[in-house]
A = this chain, B = another copy of it.
Amino acid sequence: MSDTKPLDRREFVKRSGTAAGGALLLNTPVAALAAARQTIPSRGYAAIDTSGTLVPWSFERRALKDNDILIDIRYASICHSDIHQMKGHWGPQQYPQVPGHEIVGIVAAVGKSVTRFKVGDRAGVGCMVNSRLEQLDGVENEEQYSPDTVFTYGYPEADSPTGISQGGYATNIVVRDHFAVHIPDHIRLQDAAPLLCAGITTYSPLMRAKVRKGMKVGVAGVGGLGHMAIQIAVSKGAEVTAFTTSADKVADIQAFGAKAVVVVDDPAKLAPHQGSLDLMISTIPYQYDVAAYVALVKPYGTFTQVGMPERFELTVNALGLSASRVNFNASLIGGMAETQEVVDYCADHQVLPRIEIIRADEINTAWNKVVIKRARYRYVIDASTF
């Protein structure tokens, strides 16, 4: 679609450099466009089919409205969900589509009604960017369940030049201010990025289960989400047992604070832990033997699925569920207030993701490593390389 745009628009696409003050940023060409309520050129990496290979792509962001902010993206990290959605595992997609919903950067422009942010602020964006509602008062705690919420990429968005929302593997993004959070000064932007999805997705069910000192928490799957789940639960005083299929992650997992690590190279390894957990957080994002993991939870305990497999489908064993009397539920990210909470909590307590910074041209290699479980533990894209 950007092919039809005049070249001079593309020339405007320059990163605004340092996180300097508002005046300087407002003088950038992109900010000027924002102020003029014109569509905003952006450049990123997009999927163009279900192959799982991304290509460089230039496109337009929607024009800034009164409640919107323009963020100059500094880092965007890679979530397994990006891969699932682009490959069509969750249903057919419109292409080109830019993935990415763990986004941090600097506010480059604000709409005239915005009071929560000013130019120059450090800001983060997760899985949600907008709402079709004029007023958001009624849904402010659980925006992720509102039918009116616009998710960060691939979601119909009438005033977007591409017709859908486009994600954070890009130089900038326009979001409604309500859907951005503040990134405190005492956490690096690159460390904050994974908190916007991996952090909130694991923090929310832990908090809902009232994670506390001495609580026995299991974490199944130790990737981007799992390594945050372990660290958050440990920081809240829980005794964490981690379940991984990767033997070479054991030392890391111990460093994250887990009390025990089970390398599940054989399902029989699960048996000694049967009925031992108050809560299990399963981050496994593919089909697996759910019954065997459910059996690890104490009677009337809770099993929360946060990993989203292909077609979102999991097979549960009703007899196994009844025998373990476990509440099986699933959790989807968290609301905006809780997203701000997890960012602040992780900054305050230095609960940080283990990241590897990559360039834009390394995204495809990184995606493959995520799929084959070689990520250690979150790839963070340096947006200056788009």
Interface residues in chain A, defined as those with a beta carbon under 8 Å from any beta carbon in chain B: 90, 142, 145, 299, 302, 305-309, 311-323, 325-332
Contact = CB atoms under 8 A, between A and B. Distances in A.
B305 A314 contact: no
A330 B318 contact: yes
A145 B328 CA distance: 18
A321 B302 CA distance: 14
11 contacts: A145-B299, A145-B323, A305-B322, A312-B318, A313-B316, A315-B315, A321-B329, A321-B330, A322-B330, A327-B328, A328-B329
A318 B322 contact: no
B325 A145 contact: yes
Contacts of A306: 322
A321 B306 CA distance: 10
Classify the interface of chain A: helix, strand, loop or mixed.
mixed
B318 A313 contact: yes
B327 A318 contact: no
A314 B290 CA distance: 11
A224 to B, nearest CB: 17
A238 to B, nearest CB: 20
Nearest first, the 9 A-B pairs at minimum CB distance are: A321-B330, A322-B332, A322-B330, A312-B319, A327-B327, A318-B330, A328-B328, A312-B318, A312-B317
A316 B319 contact: no
Nearest to A305: B318
